[in-house]
């Protein structure tokens, strides 16, 4: 018996664990010539009925309420105030789940596999839009692998909290 087989098994388990704990990738974009920080009030825009790509998330009122609550808290910590009349920005969000296929020829982790691996990738997009002309001021987004855990409501809520916190952290400091 050699140590090679257990070593490969340990490496495989480590790779699986790393994939399950894949970090959230966060990015943001500020539209050129547009000032997102000119004010400090916001309101949620009308809900959109765009499909997420996963029926478990489509029209999920629990996820919608939780996400809005988490965004409200994160913005309040940055000095933003919710306002129903004449807000400086409108907020919109979109959740999506896409299936990604790893090419075994390009991915080190999947080279030992005979076929490509398929992963579910979740993306949360948060937009700030100018209510005067409906043009994008700022967009922040986060993406992460969500394989086989989207049915776990507590996990999903923790992931939303983490993603929103990281997205809002990329928001430019607002003008005083």
Per-residue confidence (pLDDT) for residue 89, from 0 to 100: 93
Per-residue confidence (pLDDT) for residue 174, from 0 to 100: 61
Q: What one-character DSSP code corresponds to residue 92?
A: E
The string over 34-69, giving b where at least 16 C-beta atoms fall within 10 Å of a residue's C-beta and e elsewhere, is eebbebbebeebeeeeeebbbeebeebeebeebbbe
Name the residue among 95, 96, 89 with its Cα closest to residue 138: 89
pTM above the 0.95 mark? no
- pLDDT tens for each residue of the chain, 176 residues long: 444 443 333 333 333 333 445 577 887 888 887 777 777 899 999 876 677 767 667 677 888 899 999 999 999 999 999 998 999 999 999 887 777 776 656 555 545 555 677 767 778 899 999 999 999 999 999 988 776 666 777 888 888 899 999 999 998 876 54
Per-residue confidence (pLDDT) for residue 120, from 0 to 100: 72
Per-residue confidence (pLDDT) for residue 114, from 0 to 100: 59
Per-residue confidence (pLDDT) for residue 3, from 0 to 100: 41
Q: State the CB neighbour count (10 A cutoff) for residue 23.
A: 10
The CATH number of the domain covering residues in 24-169: 3.30.160.670
Domain ranges of the chain: 24-169
């Amino acid at each position: 018996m050699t140590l090679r087989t257990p070593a490969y098994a340990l490496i495989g388990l480590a790779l699986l664990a790393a994939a399950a704990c894949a970090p959230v990738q966060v990015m943001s974009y500020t539209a050129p010539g547009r000032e997102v920080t000119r004010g400090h009030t916001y309101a949620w825009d009308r809900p959109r009925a765009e499909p997420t790509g996963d029926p478990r998330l489509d029209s999920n009122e629990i996820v919608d309420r939780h996400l809005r609550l988490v965004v409200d808290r994160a913005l309040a910590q940055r000095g933003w105030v919710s306002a129903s009349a004449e807000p400086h920005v409108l907020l919109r969000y979109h959740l999506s789940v896409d299936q990604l296929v790893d090419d075994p020829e390009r991915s080190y982790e999947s080279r030992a596999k005979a076929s490509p691996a398929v992963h579910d990738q979740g993306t949360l997009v948060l937009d700030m839009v100018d209510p005067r002309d409906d043009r994008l001021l700022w967009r922040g987004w986060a993406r992460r692998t969500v394989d086989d855990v989207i049915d776990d409501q507590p996990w999903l809520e923790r992931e939303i909290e983490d993603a929103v916190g990281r997205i809002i952290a990329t928001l430019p400091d607002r003008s005083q």
